[in-house]
Structure 1
Amino acid sequence: MIIETKYHGQVEINQEDVWTFNQGIPGFADEKQFTLLAFPDNDVFFVLQSTSTPELGFVVTNPFAFFPEYDIQLDEAVVEALQLEKAEEAAVYTILTVKEPFEQTTANLQAPIILNTTNKQAKQVILNDNRYHIRHSIFLVGAEKE
């Protein structure tokens, strides 16, 4: 299928590249289908792009690339909702707030995106863990958090 995107223009994707958020993403409850698109010449940053709304695309990254000690515990309701049978089935991404200059970009570690790589189910999870906040600098170790 061909979709219009926020950053990549028109792209062709396969149905197996579509992730289903059964409850949508907080603030976007009606948006249920997304795909992950890589930026050219880049294996760190991606766009979580709505398949139905071209202007809705979130820049995301694997948080472990910037925060190796990031440690999340999913509650049983999330594990059941995503039908995760083992930890290896889960891929974790965080939404970035891209700033100018780019070195001031932050990651939302309090609300990671969890993808079940087996069944293509996905969910944004709000963590009840006071170690993580909505704005962690991805470039400055020990930077301020909000």
Structure 2
Amino acid sequence: MEEIMQLHTKDYGVIDYEEKDLFHFPDGLFGFSEVQHYLPLCLNEEEDSTILLLQGVENPEVAFVVINPFSLDPDYAPNLTEEELTYLGVKDAEELSYYVTCVLQADYLDNTVNLKCPLVINPENHKGMQVILEASGYEYKHTLGSFESVQAKQKAAV
């Protein structure tokens, strides 16, 4: 039986978790190398992992909203190097989960996502890394309003 640990967060109070729940980024995320463990929290009632809050464990002040990029752009095609695949312990990039960081604005259609530097996670062992897709044509800032899937959802809600 794993030990139940507690994380004290600013927005969600005290959260109980086990070591197996964490995502582990041995090199940290860009600009946050001191935080290597993140607790993924679902941001909607359906326990859908399309949008998550990655809550830093070593520093609970650090948290990132991340989105599955395929929910925004079904044609998103990140190419990983052999070294990156080996580091994550897989042979094929399709074995991995992908998330992109989101910068929140007052109007959600102005929120931006970074498609150039996705977080890539092995769902089997929860080991992850942030990569830079050098020759991809993806940018650091894509507004949510620029994706057809978001625009279609907005029209359906009206």
TM-score, normalized by length of structure 2?
Answer: 0.83
Amino acid of the structure 1 residue aligned with 2:110? Q
Amino acid of the structure 2 residue aligned with 1:34? Y
Partner of 1:3: 7
| 1:12 and 2:16 aligned | yes
Counterpart Cα distance in 2 of 1:24 and 1:31: 6
| 1:111 and 2:117 aligned | yes
Larger mean Cα displacement after TM superposition, 16-25 or 83-92: 83-92
| 1:41 and 2:37 aligned | no
Q: CA RMSD in A?
A: 1.6
Q: Secondary structure at the match of 1:94?
A: strand
Counterpart Cα distance in 2 of 1:138 and 1:94: 12
Gaps of 5+ in 1: none
**Structure 1 pair 130/40, CA: closer, same or farther in 2 (3 Å)?**
closer
Counterpart Cα distance in 2 of 1:120 and 1:94: 16
- Contact 2:67–2:102, Cα closer than 8 Å, also in 1: yes
Counterpart Cα distance in 2 of 1:67 and 1:6: 32
- Matched residue count: 142
Q: Which runs of 4+ in 1 moved over 6 A?
A: none
Counterpart Cα distance in 1 of 2:33 and 2:83: 19
Gaps of 5+ in 2: 149-158
Rg bigger for which structure? 2
Counterpart Cα distance in 2 of 1:105 and 1:128: 23
- Contact 1:96–1:106, Cα closer than 8 Å, also in 2: yes
- Identity among equivalent positions (%) equals 30
TM-score, normalized by length of structure 1?
Answer: 0.89
Q: Secondary structure at the match of 1:64?
A: helix
Alpha-carbon deviations, 1:88-138, whole Å to 9, x = none?
430000000111111111110000000001111100011103420111112
- Structure with more of its chain in strand, by fraction: 1
Amino acid of the structure 1 residue aligned with 2:92? K
Larger mean Cα displacement after TM superposition, 129-138 or 35-44: 35-44
**Structure 1 pair 57/118, CA: closer, same or farther in 2 (3 Å)?**
same
Counterpart Cα distance in 2 of 1:73 and 1:88: 10
